[in-house]
Structure 1
């Protein structure tokens, strides 16, 4: 039961943040490193929208596809690992977003990413 609750909380958080990527695109652009636009051939807005869409899809999968929860858990963990360079970039450049407006908060955010990876794997095991 605890893992089920943790999975639902993770899904709701992912979905909410994913929706924010659509409504607050400009605020998330500062997290996208310049090299990511070259690597993906997408502009920063498109990367923000795409990552939001992935978050919403993962959230939906965590809730709607219980038989696939382990695979979706691994995909979610992979997504959290994939966006870590953006968190690192934000900390190194000192760029603020809502709630991450100090160097200490941006640095602390770096430690949240491994916790999210562990959470995704644990909640879907």
Structure 2
């Protein structure tokens, strides 16, 4: 039991699988890790322009991107931008998180379902 709790706590601070995946991408396809745009936060993204340029959807990280860590509500200053993103990309918006949706930390999907109801964005369920 203590190991699960320790992994849960560390998983929010250090993502071993994420680091390993990043290294793999870096060695195989460096273009995927080079930022193609840099903005202070999501409010500066022109969602209509992304759609016009051929983007078909958006996948957000949860903690420290659209919510505060462990929060289930959108960070208030981003609400307008997120709502506009959802109106542009409709059902092609999702959250991929190392907390909500990760089977190890959300085995019954309760956190995912609550987040989906609260924010209105589908959470991708995964096990790494």
Q: Is the shorter-chain TM-score for this pair beyond 0.5, marking a shared fold? A: no
TM-score by length of 2: 0.28
Higher RCO (C-alpha under 8 Å, 6+ residues apart)? 1
Q: TM-score, normalised by structure 1?
A: 0.29
Q: Counting helix residues as a fraction of each chain, which structure ranks higher?
A: 1
Task: Choose between structure 1 and 2: higher strand proportion.
Answer: 2
Q: Larger Rg: 1 or 2?
A: 2
